Amino acid sequence: MCIKTRHIQLFIFITLASIVKSYNQQDLDPVNDQIVIYSLQTKGNITIATTSNGEPVDIRYTSTLNKELLNNHFFLETNTHLNRKNIPLRFVHTRGSGAFGYFEVTHDITNICRADFLDTIGKRTPIAVRFSPVFGSADTNRFPHGFAVKFYTESGNFDLVGFDTPVFIIKDPVKFPSFIRATSRNPATNTFDSNMLWDFITLNPESINIFMYVFGDSGIPKGYRHMTGYGIHTFQVHNKEGEVHFIRFHIIPNAGRKYFTSKEGQQLDGEDPDSFTRDLYDAIACGKEVSWKIAVQILTLEDLKKANIDISDVTLKLPLDIYPLQPVGKIVLNRNPINYFAEIEQLAFCPSNLVRGIDGGIDKLFQARRFLYEDAQYYRLGVNKNNIEVNYPRNAKVHAYNRDGEAPVRANERNSPNYYINSFNGAMFSFETDRPDLVQAVQTPPNNTAQIAQTFKDMSMEEQERLIDNIVSSLSPSIDFIQNRAVKIFTEINPDFGERVQSGLQNSNKTKACSGILS
Helix ranges, 338-443 (H): 340, 364-381
- Exposure pattern of 9-48 as b/e (b: 16+ CB <10 Å)? eeeeeeeeeeeeeeeeeeeeebbeeeeebebeeeeeeeee
Annotated binding-site residue? 373: yes
Q: Report d(CA 292, CA 469) in Å as an integer.
A: 31
Contacts 24+ apart (CB under 8 A), 500-507: 500/464, 500/468, 501/468, 501/471, 501/472, 501/475, 504/468, 504/469, 504/471, 504/472, 504/476, 505/472, 505/475, 505/476
Smallest CA-to-CA distance from 162 within 322, 304, 333, 373 is with: 373
Q: Report d(CA 79, CA 72) in Å as an integer.
A: 11
Handedness of CA 123, 146, 128, 29 (dihedral sign): negative
Handedness of CA 455, 457, 462, 464 (dihedral sign): positive
Amino acid identity, residue 466?
R
Smallest CA-to-CA distance from 353 within 395, 386, 307 is with: 386
List residues bridging with 294 in a β-sheet: 251, 329
Smallest CA-to-CA distance from 377 within 353, 398, 350, 404 is with: 350
Q: Report d(CA 317, CA 351) in Å as an integer.
A: 19
Rg (CA), the chain: 27
Q: Report d(CA 134, CA 145) in Å as an integer.
A: 5
Q: What secondary structure, in 3-state letters, does 415-452 show?
A: CCCCCCCCCCCCCCCCCCCCCCCCCCCCCCCCCCHHHH
Q: Report d(CA 351, CA 157) in Å as an integer.
A: 11
List residues bridging with 326 in a β-sheet: 296
Smallest CA-to-CA distance from 164 within 223, 247, 246 is with: 223
Q: Report d(CA 121, CA 16) in Å as an integer.
A: 52
Run of H or E including 103: strand 97-105
Q: Residues at the annotated binding site?
A: 373
Q: Residues at the annotated binding site for heme?
A: 373
